Amino acid sequence: MATGRTHRPATRSRGIPEATVARLPLYLRALTALSERSVPTVSSEELAAAAGVNSAKLRKDFSYLGSYGTRGVGYDVEYLVYQISRELGLTQDWPVVIVGIGNLGAALANYGGFASRGFRVAALIDADPEMAGKQVAGIAVQHSDGLEKIIDENGVSIGVITTPPGVAQQVCDRLVAAGVTSILNFAPTVLSVPDGVDVRKVDLSIELQILAFHEQRKAGEEAEAQAGAAAVAQAAQEDNGKGPDGDVPAVMPA
Ligand SMILES: NC(=O)c1ccc[n+]([C@@H]2O[C@H](COP(=O)([O-])OP(=O)(O)OC[C@H]3O[C@@H](n4cnc5c(N)ncnc54)[C@H](O)[C@@H]3O)[C@@H](O)[C@H]2O)c1
């Protein structure tokens, strides 16, 4: 059983804050779209808007990369794509294993976007003997008995967990013991990992809960605004000497 912390300090060794690292993929996605349209340069304002980030924050983030742009011209799109890719370690190929090839694992395996971003699905692993040998996304599923060997042979350092939550920690422990140092966890389980192992978790239901919170707040604000408008309308009617029911005066003249 693995022990230890589940998070890293707020800055990385090269002095780039974690918050900046978390925004680099957003810039990269926006820059890649510009690159695909053969746009040569981009201003900080344009790129910030495309990435959904404040432009002052973007300039600060890029200063950590040593990229300051050219006044009046902006940033060179291709060079920035290269710089951010290099910073994120995407200029090399990362073999990834997915463990748990059910609905979600198979959907991820079938997602074509990983390869173009430098992540090659090296192996698909499942504990169900019936799954062994089945082709998913053109890859034969392998039984989890051979997990350690598969990790070793493919030089895998990134593992994706899409198993049921009850076995996620056990799968995580095996991945870590086999040499995996980064885990993307889709199972709704808080994983415990030793120092030096990074865990990122993805939970769509948490994202939906946050949206539900905002929806509720918007509905509350709308109801308040409607109540406010109704109160103003009523006050206006009363000022005109009319009752709240329209043309009937609230107080009959003597
Ligand atoms: N993060 C999200 O937003 C999100 C969304 C949907 C589902 N999930 C989670 O993803 C996980 C998978 O969901 P699903 O719908 O694909 O489930 P599923 O039941 O379709 O698939 C789970 C697969 O894991 C395999 N498995 C079980 N134990 C294993 C083990 N010890 N080693 C290897 N493989 C093992 C099963 O044989 C099965 O093929 C669940 O934990 C679910 O809660 C997360």
46 alpha carbon – ligand 1 mean position (Å):
40
Domains and CATH numbers, the chain: 18-87 (1.10.10.10), 94-202 (3.40.50.720)
pLDDT in tens, the chain (254 residues): 333 334 443 444 468 899 999 999 999 999 999 999 999 999 999 999 999 999 999 999 999 988 777 888 899 999 999 999 999 988 888 999 999 999 999 999 999 888 877 899 999 999 999 999 999 999 999 999 999 999 999 999 999 999 999 999 999 999 999 999 999 999 999 999 999 999 999 999 999 998 999 999 888 888 888 888 888 888 888 877 654 454 444 444 43
Tell the residue nearest (CA) to atom 30 of ligand 1.
Answer: 127
Nearest ligand 1 atom, CA 164: 41
Tell the residue nearest (CA) to atom 2 of ligand 1.
Answer: 203
Reported ipTM: 0.98
Q: Which of 133, 184, 138, 130 is nearest to 157 (CA)?
A: 184
- With a 6 Å cutoff on the Cβ, whether 159 touches ligand 1 is no
- Residue 96 gets the label, from left (phi > 0), alpha (psi -120 to 50) or beta, of beta
3-state secondary structure of 165: helix
- Structure token pair of residue 66: 């040593």
